[in-house]
Amino acid sequence: MALADVGVVMGGLNSDATIETADVMIQTDHPSKIATARRIAVATHTVVWQNIWLAFAVKAVVLALGAGGPATMWEAIFADVGVALLAILNAVRILHMKF
């Protein structure tokens, strides 16, 4: 298990060493949960990259405006907080997805 790329343990009746060594633990004995976990992981990966690119884009715009003069420090702070809130709201979308 320790040498595997991804270790998956199914069921709650495994030894503590096996549970700690595994990368993924599924409480039930339903193999279909592995596919569900993969879909959740792909959706999470997509949302994380969306949040990263959104933050970079907004920060680049505010940086360019700040270098040119129209953006002040307060506008940069509001943009940073706004991007953080948008990233949180974007991540909450995962909770409402059907897997």
d(CA 83, CA 88): 9
Residue 78, both tokens: 């509001």
Helices (H) and strands (E) in the chain, counts: 3, 2
11 sits in the region (left: phi over 0; alpha: psi -120 to 50; else beta) called: left
Task: Write down the residue that tokens 């943009």 correspond to.
Answer: 79
- The predicted-structure confidence for 15-43, as pLDDT tens digits, reads as follows 788 888 888 888 888 888 889 989 999 99
pTM, entire model? 0.76
State the Cα angle at 64 between 59 and 51, rounded to 5°: 20
- The predicted-structure confidence for 41-96, as pLDDT tens digits, reads as follows 999 999 999 999 999 999 999 999 999 889 899 999 999 999 999 999 999 999 99
